[in-house]
Amino acid sequence: MSLDRTTVRNIAELARIEVRDDELDHLAGELSGILTFVEQLAEVNTDGIAPMASVADITLPMRQDVINDGGYAEAVLANAPDAVREDEGGFFTVPKVVE
């Protein structure tokens, strides 16, 4: 699979990574190379094979419905860039969103 500039731009958009126009060709080349490499899987016969999502040979464990976490807004906000401190409300902030 050879990716064109538009596709690379769309992938970058989906992944929310800014890519300059002058990087597109180089990236398209690299990503196309990788895709060509992984496409050799096409030659493997996988008829009737179930996809394997995990090697863990156990079923999903469940926890009981007890409250044993949370209650530490200060710690949750401690690393946040540009946060509203806890004594002033206690929020994360982002550039204003218009819905």
CB-wise, 21 or 37, nearer to another protein?
A: 37
**Least distance in angstroms from the C-beta of 83 to another protein:** 8
**Least distance in angstroms from the C-beta of 21 to another protein:** 13
**Mapping DSSP to helix (H, G, I), strand (E, B) and coil, where does residue 84 land?**
strand
- Could you give the angle at the alpha carbon of 72 between the alpha carbons of 66 and 73, nearest 5°? 125
Q: Across the chain, which distance is largest between two alpha carbons, in Å?
A: 61
Q: Find out whether 8 and 26 touch, Cβ atoms under 8 Å.
A: no
CB-wise, 21 or 49, nearer to another protein?
A: 49
**Least distance in angstroms from the C-beta of 54 to another protein:** 5
**Least distance in angstroms from the C-beta of 19 to another protein:** 7
Sign of CA dihedral 73, 79, 82, 87: positive
> How far is the C-alpha of 29 from the C-alpha of 3, rounded, in Å?
8
